[in-house]
Chain A
């Protein structure tokens, strides 16, 4: 359900950009999806395929998903570590004073259109 809402937002934005660039057909959309963005890539693809079939100019438009690693910053020891493996607690110093640097992206990178 969550992915469907995201797909509607992507479609809205892509149609706007296509129109601004005088394109009538979009053949591919490239998305950057962060590892901890809460988006499940294959759900996103399923929702995408279902939703674009009904959108003029977007039928058969492919969705390419590029996954981005999540990285957390530790303020205790001023270093970075991979979020998924260690969560909120820094593996170097044990501090909980940490925050996400990147990895929650749900971003449209580019589109291919004619």
Chain B
């Protein structure tokens, strides 16, 4: 029966040869399409004069607290908005809005461990970009997957907190190699942990010699002015060059 069917396809109804299995060569990295979308997004942001920072870290490293301290330092100088990406809940977006008064939105990744360029664009579409200087994307807390997908951000930054240990750049090399800035948070608990700051810097620069490292403490405010200045300079640079 199957043979007959085959013959029908091939001989009796030559037009139906169109239906035969075609092998289509693609030979394309799955990151390629995302890379294009990210480049397009950056071009668009450049035209609008909006600087997008992609902030990554492990869960619990202090991203939200750091952002609140930094935004309060910056909000008289720049118009800032925050996109919070999480698998679920909107606690972070509410917390930042309450503590700083700026525009925040919550993105849900629907169980996914990272944001890609398309999801970032959808988030930006929901922000009033007019007059905005700085948009900060707080990525899903994870040191692995977010490093692999270009979000379309102008710069990547990450927070490593003291309790996580100074060996993290060795364990998560990709994350450290794509970040322009590494903030080392919770310096107030340094006396209680075997965290070697010099080793940490050495390991980070092994992965990425150009990465800027700033030790901070979001709770006490140490290093926050330096981070805020880095943001001011980066935004200015993006708008003028």
Contact = CB atoms under 8 A, between A and B. Distances in A.
Interface in B27-51: 27-31, 33-34
Interface string A43-68: 00000000000000000000000000
Contacts of B34: 9
B144 A38 contact: yes
Contacts of A107: 27-30
A5 B22 contact: no
The SS class assigned to the A binding surface is mixed
Contacts, number: 74
Given A4-B112, A5-B114, A109 B22 contact: no
Interface in A1-19: 1-2, 4-6, 8-10, 12-14, 17-18
Interface in B1-47: 19-31, 33-34
Contact of A1 (B22, B29, B113, B116): B113
Contact of B22 (A2, A8, A23, A38): A23
A106 B21 contact: no
Interface in B142-178: 144-145, 148-149
B111 interface: yes
Contacts of B27: 107-110
Nearest to A107: B29
Contacts of A75: none
Nearest to B119: A5
Contacts of B29: 105-107
Contacts of B19: 114
A27 interface: yes
Q: What range describes how many residues of B lie at the interface? A: 20 to 34
Contacts of B148: 38
Nearest to A6: B30
Contacts of B20: 114
A108 B148 CA distance: 17
A114 B17 CA distance: 10
B112 A1 contact: yes
Contacts of A17: 24, 26
B206 to A, nearest CB: 8
Contacts of A5: 112-114, 116, 145, 149
Contacts of B111: 1, 4
Interface string A93-114: 0000000000001111111111
A113 B21 contact: yes
Given A5-B145, A9-B34, A114-B19, A108 B113 contact: no
- Smallest CB-CB A-B distances: 9 pairs: A1-B113, A9-B30, A108-B26, A110-B25, A2-B145, A5-B112, A107-B29, A106-B30, A112-B21
